[in-house]
Amino acid sequence: MRVYCNACGSKGKISGSPRFSGDISKHYCDCLNVECGHRWVATLAYSHTLRKPTTSVDQRLLERLSQLPKDSQVRLIEQLEAMQPGPDHHQVIAPQLSLLHHTA
């Protein structure tokens, strides 16, 4: 993002991390004109969305999970596997599938 000094019109530089407050972020700026030396705070505000973000629920979940400690990740995977139908379920389904192929 390009910023300009409102005192001398020279290019400015954003320094440091922005401070967020809801949909508004404040950016510390320095004028690149050494003879000016102006420092100021610029405000950037969210207006409206033009295209929805591509990050899916899956991606956000994966990011959250990757931040968990390793043992928590392993425990969650074990819980998920316990919720999935086991090999018994597959054996029940398999004859029905072969029946379908036979009649088709």
Where along the sequence are the contacts to Zn ion (CB under 5 A)? 5, 7-8, 10, 31, 33, 36, 38
Judged by beta carbon, residue 11 or residue 60, the one nearer Zn ion is: 11
10-41: b (≥16 Cβ within 10 Å) or e: eebeeeeeeeeeeeeeebebbbbeeeeeeeee
Sign for the pseudo-dihedral over CA of 49, 54, 58, 59: negative
Judged by beta carbon, residue 34 or residue 50, the one nearer Zn ion is: 34
CB of 15 to Zn ion, least distance (A): 14
CB of 61 to Zn ion, least distance (A): 46
CB of 27 to Zn ion, least distance (A): 16
